[in-house]
Amino acid sequence: LDFSVDKKALVDCDIIVEAIVEDLNVKIPFYKNLGQLVKPEAIFASNTSSLAITKMALASGRADRFVGLHFFNPVQLMKLTEVIRTEHTAPAAFELTKQWSDSLGKTSVSCGDTPGFIVNRLLVPAIAQGILMVERGEATVLDVDTAMRLGAGHPMGPLTLADYVGLDTCLSILEGWTGEFPNEPAFVVPESLREKVRAGRLGRKSGHGYYTWDGDKPIAPSSEPLF
């Protein structure tokens, strides 16, 4: 395994998986540069969990050889990958990426370029709805999470998961979606999520969110007011 901080080291790669910061203002110029640098037959694959693949594909100058390839954290334990195609993706490039993903011992699923792909398109709005139930006083944080663990078989409830992922990450995804798709009723930003991020209560990473945390372990629902 070789390491380099020089993008020129990528010029002869057959497939390049990008996992830089989740910001199109960074990714777009990155792909414009990379597309001019790397051999034309190489496949580009973005590991983004929520950003539009098509925008990056067009910026790269090789939209026919551009896919999304979303690995799940922790990568060494999670078996799933989402392989995302755009209307420009060549079938051969898409199938080759799936075969390569499968060769890593992953189970790959196919998806079009929809916001959040499969998992996050279902999961993030569900997190938001759980938070909204708490905001409306319909259920407590603990009751929402217990219900989804024991009633739906989820390994952790939606508010625990939001804290675990990072409330700032959840907010960034939801604000991006609501900004781009303002008429989609599934995309909504809970006000308490905004308030917690504004206050630096980011969940597990800060020790406080909808729960208080001790390292990677949630201790108890936060006693702080939602707003």
Give 93: exposed, middle or buried? Use CB within 10 Å, 0-12, 13-18, 19+. Answer: buried
SS3 label, residue 111:
strand
Return the amino acid letter for 206: S
Q: Which of 70, 88, 154, 208 is catalytic?
A: 70
User: CA 94, 121, 181: angle at the middle one, nearest 5?
Assistant: 100
- What are the residues facing 111 on neighbouring strands? 84
Q: What is the rounded distance in angstroms from the CA atom of residue 203 to the CA atom of residue 197?
A: 9
Q: Which residue has the tokens 């993008």?
A: 7
User: CA 12, 3, 75: angle at the middle one, nearest 5?
Assistant: 95
Clarify whether 70 is annotated catalytic. Answer: yes
Specify the DSSP class assigned to residue 19: -
Q: Is 154 left (phi over 0), alpha (psi -120 to 50) or beta?
A: beta
Length, in residues, of the chain: 227
User: CA 155, 161, 162: angle at the middle one, nearest 5?
Assistant: 165
Contact 120, 50 (CB under 8 A): yes
Residues with catalytic annotation?
70
